[in-house]
Amino acid sequence: MDISIVIPLFNEAESLPTLMKSIAEAMRPLGRPYEVILVDDGSTDASFEACARLHAEYRGTVTAVRFSRNYGKSAALSVGIQKASGRIIVTMDADLQDDPAAIPDMVKLIEQGWDVVSGWKKKRHDPLSKTAPSKIFNALTSMISGLKIHDFNCGFKAYRREAALSLEIYGERHRYLPVLAHWNGFRVTEMPVPHHPRRFGKSKFGIGRAAGMFDLLTLVFLRTYLRKPLHFFGPLGCCMGLAGVIILGYFGVQWAITREMHIRPLVLLSLGAIIMGIQFISIGLIGELIINANPKAGYTIREMLE
C-alpha cells in the first residue's frame, strides 16, 4: 500500500459520506493505491453504521475500527497508525474542516525528503473560544519545544511511515506529535492547508486544551531526565542538604563559642532540609537502578538497508 489515511472520529455520522467522497476525488489524480482507516472512538450516534456502509461501498479501501467506549483522540490515532500499511500515513479529522484536496501536496513534500508535514490552518473558520487558546498554546509549545511551526494541534498531517511508527501516542500526546517527531530526529515542516467551517454538529474541543501545557512539561521532563534521573534529583538533594548543613554549622559554631543552644525554627528547617536532600538523592539513585535494570536503549531507527 502506498498511502494510508487515518481518520479518528467521534459522533460524525453526517460528515462521513461527504468526507469519503472528497477523499476519493482527491486521490484519483494521484493514481496510487490507498486505504482509509476509520477509527470510531466510542461514538454514541450512528457513526459506526455509516462506517459500515462506507466499508461495503468502498470495499478493499475502507477499514473500520470501533472502540467499546470513548478513549480519546490519541488512542484512536495510535490504533489507526498501527493498522496502517502505507509507506506514507496521513491523519485528518472527520468533521469536514480538513480538505483532502491538500493530500497530494503533503505527499509531494514527504517525497522531497521531509519526514513529517504538519498542516497549518492559516485562515481558520472557528469561534474565538477555539482560536484564542490555540494561539497561546502554539506560541508556548514552540518556545518550549524549540520547533518553530505555527500550528501544532492541527490534526491534518502526513508522515513517512518510520516517523509515524516511532511516536508513542497516548494520553494527550496527539497535540505534540510534531514535537515528538522532531525530538526523535525526524525532519518536520508545515504547509498551509484549507480550513472549512464545521457543517455538522459542534466541536469536541475548546478552552480546556490550555491544560495540555502540563503534558508538554511532562514530555520535556521525560526527554531530559528519563535516562538519567539522578541528574534531576541529585542537584536538588545536594542543594537542600548543603543549605541544611551550612545553617546547622552556623549554629554549631555559635554553640561552641557561647555554650548556648536554643531550639529555633531555623534549626528544625535545616534538619528537614538535610533529610529531604538525602531523600531526593536516594530517589535519584533508585531511579538509576531501575533504568540500569531495564537498559532498553530507546533509540529511533530512521532507515535501514538489508
Could you read off the pLDDT of 172-198 as tens digits, one per residue? 788 889 999 998 899 999 999 988 877
Residue type, 1: M
Q: Where are the domains of the chain?
A: 3-225, 230-293
- Cβ contacts of residue 175 below 8 Å, gap of 6+? 137, 141, 152, 153, 209, 212, 215, 216
- Contact 150/220 with Cβ under 8 angstroms? no
Say how far apart CA 45 and CA 53 lie, in whole Å: 15
Q: If pLDDT is split at 50, 70 and 90, which confidence band does 134 have? A: confident
Question: Of 34, 25, 47, nearest to 5 (Cα)?
Answer: 34
Q: Are strands 188-192 and 116-120 parallel, antiparallel or unpaired?
A: parallel
- Cβ contacts of residue 28 below 8 Å, gap of 6+? none
Q: Are strands 3-9 and 88-91 parallel, antiparallel or unpaired?
A: parallel
For the whole prediction, is pTM greater than 0.85? Answer: no
Q: If pLDDT is split at 50, 70 and 90, which confidence band does 138 have? A: confident
**What would the pLDDT profile of 229-242 be if each residue is shown by its tens digit?**
888 888 989 999 99
CATH classification of 3-225, choosing from 3.90.550.10, 1.10.10.10, 2.60.40.10, 3.40.190.10?
A: 3.90.550.10
Please report the pLDDT score of residue 210 as a whole number.
52
